């Protein structure tokens, strides 16, 4: 069976096969990869436990598929193009051969430092080639990588190190972000003071600072000197852990989503190929950070599995000016471009000359991910970037799903502005009503669940299988609950409307409100707080905090600044609140639960539409909050 889908008819026939006989279908797709040993059974699952096994007992190493598999015929092809933050610094191009060598070399560095199969290694790094190399080096030796986004604070880093009990930390002396320099090593050192499992830290010199390393800390450049440039890939079981990636949840503790080797490999490669309609020779650029799932699946694994050239960008969209993305597209003749709606909304505010002065004629396909795209941004992207000639794939998926779940296939299946459209092959989405029943008619609106396993789904939450079950498999029997709401039109096209839980997507970053509230509540002046999202024209959503102060304390801007400082310290600047309102009370149910629905409506200025508030413990408080918000 062809790996590439090249017509709508083929999409429909593959989809039918993948639903009617998933085992045969995925077995066929999986033959495109290199296995050390084939599977005994394609799928074994039980959502009630939940336990999901794909490609049972198969043996492989994903890096052999990302690298070694391409060497013979495409060894000199460029695997990674790295574009630095500063446009005056040279970009770096690594061929598949060079990348293979560097990955093997760093795999040996990890081994020399005591790393072995199953160890967890934390990466807290800038967007430099060494990050991709280190991720692959972990996978090469069978160590589990846990990449923590370099915008997170020391506390957030420490809690992630502790949760996974990582024994090695890979970091850098600093990171460049636009005009700023981020002092990564100081943040990492503060995290090390608060956590206990790290034995060795390897530090990359990126900003050429003359810091002194502490005991148990080593310079990256010293470590890679004189190590062998080949490393045999560790043989991994299909279900051995490949990585942990933390995402927000509705409690204060982040969830370490666990992804395993074989199913993740098969599905990220298959979706990359078909959603973007990748052709040999295409230059592909995903602007995400490797600290998020998009970077894992669609900067590193998906593209490299397909032997593509993947661009990795260190900087930000607005440095040195709001035309940087378009300059980079022109510079590297990017064909396939994948970004977030928040970036599009930020860039459409700049004068259009910033776009028009760059030659974007190389572009063939545009993509978006991370949050719902509004109609206006969709049309701006289509008209000004795609010049009306590039299909736009609006890809809905999650850290938990590992790979794209609902999206059109570029130029193959129909697109519809603001709609993610149709399920990917093998994905069985359903809409659920308020009574927990599946809605089968069209059009419809409900909560989005998935009723059958797919190869790249997260298998558990690291160290907390019960939470995995409670969060994803307890809302609806025998279904995975996504936490999102969605519409389905008369043609069966899906449009994701947003989160229905206590997660807010700010600038495409998935933030749980609970850890933000916990941070705020640490301030001695504060009794209680509630954080919700409200619409924001660039970030998609911004954060609104309702805060109760102790008697006798008056709210003022200095307390607001302290609140945001605390949030930065505990989580990172991405979680700062745009609005902070001091209130006398919070609307609560009789059982004491904060009614966030009401607070969300007030923050969104939808005061006319608050619904029934008579059942609240303290309905009077609502009017006083509304007054204070106007
Ligand atoms: O609410 C959905 C939104 O992002 C959430 C997942 O966030 P995260 O795990 O950080 O992964 C983001 C990158 C895959 C989803 O539950 N989301 C993601 N993509 C879309 C989206 N909402 C609407 N349209 C999308 N294309």
Average pLDDT over residues 157-186: 97
Our answer on whether the CB atom of 267 is closer than 6 Å to any ligand 1 atom is no
Our answer on whether the CB atom of 511 is closer than 6 Å to any ligand 1 atom is no
What CA–CA distances, in Å, run from 401 to 237, 258, 259, 294, 405? 20, 10, 9, 11, 7
Comparing 434 with 269, the larger pLDDT belongs to 269
pLDDT of 140 above 80:
yes
CA of 504 to the centre of ligand 1 (A): 10
CA of 255 to the centre of ligand 1 (A): 16
Q: What is the pLDDT of residue 498?
A: 87
The set of residues, in sequence order, having a beta carbon less than 8 Å from that of 534 and lying 6+ positions away, is: 541, 542, 543, 544, 579, 600, 603, 604
Per-residue confidence at 385, pLDDT binned at 50, 70, 90?
very high
Our answer on whether the CB atom of 254 is closer than 6 Å to any ligand 1 atom is no
Per-residue confidence at 627, pLDDT binned at 50, 70, 90?
very high
Q: What is the pLDDT of residue 477?
A: 96
- Find out whether 314 and 295 touch, Cβ atoms under 8 Å: no
Kindly report the number of other CB atoms within 10 A of residue 386's CB atom: 18
**What percent of the chain is modeled with pLDDT above 70?**
100
Q: What is the pLDDT of residue 97?
A: 98
For 354-363, b/e burial (b = at least 16 CB within 10 A) is: bbeebebeeb
Which of 74-83, 450-459, 493-502 has the least mean pLDDT? 493-502
Q: What is the pLDDT of residue 586?
A: 93
Q: What is the pLDDT of residue 220?
A: 98
Q: What is the pLDDT of residue 509?
A: 92
**Residue tagged 């609950």 (tokens):** 481
Q: What is the pLDDT of residue 209?
A: 86
pLDDT of 166 above 90:
yes
Q: What is the pLDDT of residue 210?
A: 87
Our answer on whether the CB atom of 33 is closer than 6 Å to any ligand 1 atom is no
pLDDT of 238 above 80:
yes
Average pLDDT over residues 63-78: 98
Average pLDDT over residues 323-329: 98
CA of 481 to the centre of ligand 1 (A): 14
Question: What is the maximum alpha-carbon separation in the chain?
Answer: 74
pLDDT of 250 above 90:
no
CA of 585 to the centre of ligand 1 (A): 32
Q: What is the pLDDT of residue 487?
A: 96
Per-residue confidence at 248, pLDDT binned at 50, 70, 90?
confident
Average pLDDT over residues 355-366: 98
Top mean-pLDDT range of 62-76, 206-220, 489-503: 62-76
Helices (H), 528-582: 557-570
Which of 194-198, 248-252, 380-384, 521-525 has the least mean pLDDT? 248-252
- Find out whether 44 and 53 touch, Cβ atoms under 8 Å: yes
* Averaged pLDDT of the chain: 96
Output the pTM of the full model: 0.93
pLDDT of 1 above 80:
yes
What CA–CA distances, in Å, run from 381 to 334, 345, 404, 535? 15, 9, 20, 20
What CA–CA distance (Å, rounded) separates 344 from 383?
A: 12
Our answer on whether the CB atom of 247 is closer than 6 Å to any ligand 1 atom is yes
* Chain segment 389-434, per-residue pLDDT in tens: 999 999 999 999 999 999 999 999 999 999 999 999 999 999 999 8
pLDDT of 609 above 90:
no
Our answer on whether the CB atom of 245 is closer than 6 Å to any ligand 1 atom is no
Average pLDDT over residues 352-364: 98
Bridge partners, residue 44, by sequence: 53
Is 99 exposed, middle or buried (CB count within 10 Å of its CB: 0-12, 13-18, 19+)? buried
For 260-292, b/e burial (b = at least 16 CB within 10 A) is: bbbbbbbbbbbbbbbbbbbeeebbbbbbbbbbb
CA of 375 to the centre of ligand 1 (A): 17
pLDDT of 251 above 80:
no
Residue 531: its H or E element: strand 526-536
Average pLDDT over residues 563-585: 95
User: What atom in ligand 1 is closest to the CA of residue 509?
Assistant: 10
Give the closest residue (by CA) to ligand 1 atom 21: 371
Q: What is the pLDDT of residue 595?
A: 86
User: What atom in ligand 1 is closest to the CA of residue 400?
Assistant: 9
Q: What is the pLDDT of residue 604?
A: 94
Average pLDDT over residues 311-339: 98
Extents of the domains making up the chain:
61-434+447-481, 519-629
Which of 371-380, 435-444, 550-559, 592-601 has the least mean pLDDT? 592-601
**Residue tagged 């800390």 (tokens):** 217
What CA–CA distance (Å, rounded) separates 449 from 473?
A: 10
Average pLDDT over residues 217-235: 98
Give the closest residue (by CA) to ligand 1 atom 26: 396
Give the closest residue (by CA) to ligand 1 atom 4: 370
- Which of the four CATH numbers 3.40.50.150, 3.90.228.20, 3.30.300.30, 3.40.50.1820 does domain 519-629 have? 3.30.300.30
Q: Which of 370, 424, 449 to mutate to test the pocket of ligand 1 (most atoms within 8 A of CB)?
A: 370
Q: What is the pLDDT of residue 397?
A: 98
Per-residue confidence at 468, pLDDT binned at 50, 70, 90?
very high
Q: What is the pLDDT of residue 13?
A: 98
What CA–CA distance (Å, rounded) separates 90 from 150?
A: 22
- Find out whether 99 and 67 touch, Cβ atoms under 8 Å: yes
Is 56 exposed, middle or buried (CB count within 10 Å of its CB: 0-12, 13-18, 19+)? middle
Cis peptide before 426 (omega within 30 of 0): no
What CA–CA distance (Å, rounded) separates 86 from 177?
A: 9
* Chain segment 474-483, per-residue pLDDT in tens: 999 999 999 9
Our answer on whether the CB atom of 398 is closer than 6 Å to any ligand 1 atom is yes
Structure tokens at 477: 């029997």
Give the DSSP per-residue string, 94-141. EEHHHHHHHHHHHHHHHHHTT--TT-EEEEE--SSHHHHHHHHHHHHH
Residue 446: name the closest of 405, 481, 406 by CA.
481
Our answer on whether the CB atom of 126 is closer than 6 Å to any ligand 1 atom is no
Dihedrals φ, ψ of 117, to 5°? -50, 135
Residue 131: name the closest of 310, 255, 351 by CA.
310
CA of 69 to the centre of ligand 1 (A): 32
- Find out whether 527 and 439 touch, Cβ atoms under 8 Å: no
Average pLDDT over residues 598-613: 89
Give the closest residue (by CA) to ligand 1 atom 13: 370
What CA–CA distance (Å, rounded) separates 122 from 127?
A: 15
Q: What is the pLDDT of residue 500?
A: 87
Q: Which of 366, 503, 510, 511 to mutate to test the pocket of ligand 1 (most atoms within 8 A of CB)?
A: 510
Our answer on whether the CB atom of 277 is closer than 6 Å to any ligand 1 atom is no
Structure tokens at 363: 């572009």
Q: What is the pLDDT of residue 82?
A: 98
Give the closest residue (by CA) to ligand 1 atom 14: 398
- Find out whether 51 and 281 touch, Cβ atoms under 8 Å: no
* Chain segment 176-199, per-residue pLDDT in tens: 999 999 999 999 999 999 999 999
SS3 at position 544: strand
Residue 389: name the closest of 409, 367, 411 by CA.
411
**The CATH number of domain 61-434+447-481 is 3.40.50.12780:** yes
CA of 447 to the centre of ligand 1 (A): 14
Which of 27-36, 116-125, 352-361, 621-630 has the least mean pLDDT? 621-630
Our answer on whether the CB atom of 294 is closer than 6 Å to any ligand 1 atom is yes
Average pLDDT over residues 166-178: 98
- Find out whether 515 and 571 touch, Cβ atoms under 8 Å: yes
């Amino acid at each position: 069976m062809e790996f590439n889908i090249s017509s709508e008819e083929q999409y429909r026939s593959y989809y039918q096969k993948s639903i009617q006989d998933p085992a045969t279908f995925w077995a066929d797709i999986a033959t495109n990869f290199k296995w050390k040993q084939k599977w005994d059974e394609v799928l074994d699952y039980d959502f009630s436990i939940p336990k999901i096994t794909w490609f049972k007992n198969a043996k492989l190493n994903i890096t052999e598929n990302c690298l070694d598999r391409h060497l013979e015929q495409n060894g000199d092809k460029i695997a990674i193009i790295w574009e630095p933050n500063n446009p005056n610094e040279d970009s770096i191009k690594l061929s598949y051969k060079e990348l293979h060598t560097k990955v093997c070399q760093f795999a040996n560095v990890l081994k020399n430092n005591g790393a072995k199969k199953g160890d967890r290694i934390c990466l807290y790094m800038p967007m430099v080639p060494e990050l991709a190399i280190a991720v692959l080096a972990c996978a090469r030796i069978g160590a589990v990588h846990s990449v923590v986004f370099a915008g997170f604070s020391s506390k957030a880093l420490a809690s992630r190190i502790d949760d996974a009990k990582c024994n090695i930390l890979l970091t850098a002396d600093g990171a460049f972000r636009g005009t700023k320099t981020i002092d990564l090593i100081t943040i990492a050192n503060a995290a090390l003071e608060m956590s206990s499992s790290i034995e060795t830290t390897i530090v990359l010199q990126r900003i050429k600072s003359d810091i002194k390393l502490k005991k148990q800390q080593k310079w990256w450049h010293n470590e890679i000197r004189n190590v062998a440039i080949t490393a045999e890939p560790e043989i991994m079981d299909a279900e051995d852990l490949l990585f942990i990636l933390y995402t927000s949840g509705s409690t204060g503790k982040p969830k370490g989503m666990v992804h395993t080797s074989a199913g993740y490999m098969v599905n990220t490669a298959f979706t990359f190929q078909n959603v973007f309609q990748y052709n040999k020779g295409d230059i592909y650029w995903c602007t995400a950070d490797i600290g998020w799932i998009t970077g894992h699946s669609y900067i590193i694994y998906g593209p490299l599995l397909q032997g593509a050239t993947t661009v990795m960008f260190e900087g930000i969209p607005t440095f040195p000016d709001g035309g940087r993305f378009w300059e980079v597209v022109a510079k590297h003749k990017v064909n396939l471009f994948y970004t977030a709606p928040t970036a599009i909304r930020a860039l459409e505010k700049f004068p259009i000359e910033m776009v028009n002065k760059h030659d974007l004629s190389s572009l063939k396909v545009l993509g978006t991910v991370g949050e719902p795209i509004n109609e206006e941004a969709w049309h701006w992207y289509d008209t000004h970037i795609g010049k009306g000639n590039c299909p736009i794939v609006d890809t809905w998926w999650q850290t938990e799903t590992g790979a794209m779940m609902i999206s059109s296939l570029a130029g193959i299946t129909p697109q519809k502005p603001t709609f993610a459209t149709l399920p990917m092959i093998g994905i069985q989405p359903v809409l659920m009503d308020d009574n927990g029943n599946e809605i089968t008619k069209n059009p419809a609106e409900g909560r989005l669940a998935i009723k059958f396993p797919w190869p790249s789904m997260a298998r558990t939450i690291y160290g907390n299988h019960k939470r995995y079950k409670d969060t994803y498999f307890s809302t609806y029997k025998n279904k995975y609950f996504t936490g999102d709401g969605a519409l389905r039109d008369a043609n069966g096209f899906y449009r994701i409307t947003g989160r229905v839980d206590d997660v807010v997507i700010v600038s495409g970053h998935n933030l749980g409100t609970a850890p933000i509230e916990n941070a705020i509540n640490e301030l001695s002046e504060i009794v209680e707080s509630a954080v919700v999202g409200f619409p924001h024209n660039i970030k998609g959503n911004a954060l609104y905090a309702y805060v109760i102060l102790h008697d006798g304390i008056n709210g003022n801007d200095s307390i607001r600044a302290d609140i945001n400082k605390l949030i930065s310290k505990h989580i990172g600047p991405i979680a700062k609140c745009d609005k902070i309102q001091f209130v006398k009370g919070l609307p609560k149910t009789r059982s004491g639960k904060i009614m966030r629905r009401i607070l969300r409506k007030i923050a969104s200025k939808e005061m006319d539409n608050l619904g029934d508030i008579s059942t609240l413990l303290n309905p009077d408080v609502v009017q006083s909050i509304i007054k204070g918000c106007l």
